[in-house]
Amino acid sequence: QRFRFCGDLDCPDWVLAEISTLAKISSVKLKLICAQVLRDLLGEAIEYDKILKLTSDAKLESGDVKATIAVLSFILSSAAKHNVDSESLSSELQQLGLPKAEHASGLCRSYEEKQSPLQDRLRACSLRLSQLGSVRWRVDYTLSSSELQEVNEPVVHLTFNVRDREQEKVTAVPVTLSANKFWVLLAGEVPGGVAAETSV
Amino acid sequence: MLLVLAAEHRAHLGCVPRAGGAGGAAGRGNRAEPGRGCSCVCSLSVLTAFGELGRLALEQLRRGAAPRACETAARKLNIDVDIIQHGVEGLVYLLTESSKLMASTPFHKEISEVDFQDSIHVLGFSDELKKSLLQLYLDNRKEIRSILGELTPRLPSYHSLEWRLDVQLASRSLRQQIKPAVTMKLYLNQNEDQTSQVLQTDPATLLHLIQQLEQALGEMRMNHCRRIVRNMK
């Protein structure tokens, strides 16, 4: 059976198995655990002790606590990934066996509040090889040189600051251009030549 | 399968009863008379010395050489540090070689015990010492085998894969294109380091790649592989 929140694929077996663990926790506590898991997905620190305290009444073992966090992470991030609205998510979770009245609706309400920030965060985390941080420039005017006494030419210095995602490093790439070359860079071709097509 | 112990190893292991004997002699102090039960006093101290050496050998297997622990043991037992060191090294070699060569299955348990006893017979230990040595080997055999199993060289292994689907619409040279491309970053683990590889391909090549990998997986279901897997279990 296909589920939208799993990307129109079958639901993974481990998620099916852990839904019953979720049903053991009371719905109020489930909503609070959801809030913690959402914090973790949004990049803030997760407060594991609070989760342990919340699950202590349901008498879950440590393996079950971790499984609960994992299955909630999966459901919330997968729903955001496939842009599932909260009603569809609620009905699909009920199909999987999560009791409607409190658990599914509570979970989906937490999801609905944080759906946009979650999607923004996932978009920011997408694969990106390198990123332009900033560009600095300076225009000089060369008066003369050892080769020619009167040069009188402008020269453009550019520095591209390229940010590498993984190592969080910023590399500076310096480029020096003559005025003509700078016009080529800006316009896409030699000035005075045929103008570039603008229709797409 | 018998262990063949080289002369050097036998000399190292021969330190063990000597260690016990020396400790016993120092412990007895200045009593000149050959005390009653002196033989059991001797063997008791040999056994404690042996227990100490056994413990040091296991620690060395788990965590690597610890010269300070050897020195404390030497002071406690009143013996030379060198004798302790050699004894520990000899024990480590004996334990790793026997764990390596003499695996046990439910059918071969008696054989490997007998082999071990025959191998250490050449050392000429007393019977209690031989029994404690055998016990030390049997108790820790599984753990030593798992430690030895982790020492194999490792190829880079898969950690995770990030991917991205792009469509190129235009470039400086050509406008109005449609060129899809899949960009992937493959994260690999090698000896606790993480390396990454960036790959880019078009969807047709990606489909071909998937098809080849599925063919490789499908090979597991062929009769030939099935027969081998059944015989290995």
Who wins on pLDDT, B32 or A24?
A: A24
Query: Per residue in B129-159, pLDDT tens?
Result: 778 888 888 888 888 888 887 777 778 889 9
The rounded percent of chain B whose pLDDT value lies above 90 is 19
- pLDDT, residue B18, reads 61
Answer yes or no: is A138 within a domain: yes
Task: Say yes or no for a CB contact (<8 Å) between A200 and B198.
Answer: no
Can you give the pLDDT at residue A195?
Answer: 47
Same domain, A36 and A113: yes
CB contact under 8 A, B169 and A188: no
Domain segments of chain B: what residues?
43-151, 154-201, 207-232
Has residue A74 been placed in a domain?
Answer: yes
In a domain, A194, yes or no: no
Q: Which of B160, B185, B200, B201 is the mutation pick for testing A, counting most A CBs within 10 A?
A: B185
Q: Which residue from A minimizes the CA distance to B187?
A: A166
Of A111, A126, A141, the residue that ends a domain is A126
List the domain range (segments joined by +) for residue A23.
Answer: 4-126
Number of domains in chain A: 2
Which residues is A60 bridged to in the sheet?
none
Contact assessment for residue B100 and residue B148, using Cβ atoms and an 8 Å cutoff: yes
Put simply, the answer to whether A127 touches B162 (Cβ < 8 Å) is yes
Q: Is residue A39 located within the same domain as residue A103?
A: yes
CB pair distance less than 8 Å for B164 and A127 = yes
Q: Which chain A positions have a beta carbon within 8 Å of B183's beta carbon?
A: 127, 129
pLDDT in tens, A137-159: 999 999 999 999 998 899 999 99
List of chain B residues whose C-beta atoms are within 8 Å of the C-beta of residue A200: 169-170, 175-176
Shortest Cα distance from B214 to chain A (angstroms)? 19
A121 with A148, same domain: the answer is: no
Residues forming beta bridges with residue A141, ordered by sequence position? A154
Token pair of A44 as six digits: 């803030």
Question: Would residue A72 count as lying in a domain?
Answer: yes
d(CA B233, CA B221): 16
| Residues forming a β-bridge with A175 | A158
Is the confidence at residue B60, as pLDDT, over 50? yes
Structure-model confidence comparison of residues A43 and B112, the more confident one: A43
- Residue of chain A with shortest Cα separation from B186: A127
One-letter amino acid at A118 equals L
pLDDT tens string A9-40: 888 888 888 888 888 888 888 888 888 889 88
Q: How much is the ipTM here?
A: 0.70
**Does residue A108 share a domain with residue A38?**
yes
Task: Identify the closest residue of chain B to A123 by CA–CA distance.
Answer: B164
Q: Which residues of B touch A126 (CB under 8 A)?
A: 162, 164
Asked which of A126, A147, A170 is the last residue of a domain, the reply is A126
Confidence of residue A120 (pLDDT cuts 50, 70, 90): very high
Given A126, A149, A174, which residue is the final one in a domain?
A: A126
| A43 and A82 housed in the same domain | yes
A2-3 and A9-10 strand pairing? antiparallel
Output the pLDDT for position B210.
Answer: 95
- What chain A residue is nearest to B170 in terms of C-alpha separation? A200
Is A70 domain-assigned? yes
**Band of residue B27 on the pLDDT scale cut at 50, 70, 90:** very low
Predicted local confidence at residue B199, as pLDDT: 92
**A119 and A142 fall within a common domain:** no
pLDDT number for residue B31: 37
Q: Are residues A70 and A113 both part of a single domain?
A: yes
Question: Tokens 């404390």 identify what position?
Answer: B72
Interface test with B, best of A123, A125, A127 (most B CBs within 10 A): A127
